[in-house]
Amino acid sequence: MNDTHGSGSLAARGFNLNDWNIQSRGHQCHKCEQPFEDRTGYHTVLAHEHHEYARMDLCEACWAREHDEGMADRKGFISHWQGTYEAPPPVPPDAIQKATAEGLLRKLLETGEERWREASYILAVMLERKRILKVKEQIKEESGRVFVYEQPKSGDLFTIP
């Protein structure tokens, strides 16, 4: 059975767990500010300082130099653990760049060819979702709807049948 208010518990030591601000792992050492390299070890220390919870992620060198000995005895110390840093994956580029999509839409509309009608519509909708184009008007015709899009930065209008 867990004794949440026993003499060794955080609540018994005056810590209000409702005030906890969960912080994600840092990407650099808290002390020397050197970025962590992929697949290298790091140390994390949780402490209660200045009426707040603090997380410190430390490189091996700073841990050995300043924190290794006696850390658990320091005032405010809550916990320590070690981990292996995994660099976040690079942000994947858009499948089609916004500027490229707009340029392609312009080229397709300039041709005026019927065969590019569906592709033009798909590009316009994609650019609308990316907030590059805005629908200004929808016109109902016998052949279907026609959308009028505006590029707010340039004021250019695109008519998509």
pTM as predicted: 0.48
- Convert 98-129 into a string of H (helix), E (strand) and C (coil): HHHHHHHHHHHHHHCCHHHHHHHHHHHHHHHH
Check residue 51 and give its pLDDT.
81
Check residue 3 and give its pLDDT.
39
Residues (pLDDT < 50) of the chain are: 1-7
Beta strands at 144-151 and 134-141: parallel, antiparallel or unpaired: antiparallel
Check residue 142 and give its pLDDT.
85
Closest by CA to 147, choosing from 134, 156, 160, is: 160
Residue 4 vs residues 8, 12, 16, 31, 52: alpha-carbon distances, Å: 9, 8, 12, 33, 20
Check residue 4 and give its pLDDT.
41
Which sequence spans correspond to the domains of the chain? 17-84, 98-160
Check residue 97 and give its pLDDT.
67
Check residue 150 and give its pLDDT.
93
CA distance 149 to 137: 7
pLDDT in tens, 87-132: 999 888 766 666 688 999 999 999 989 899 999 999 999 999 999 9
**For the CA atoms of the chain, what is the radius of gyration?**
29
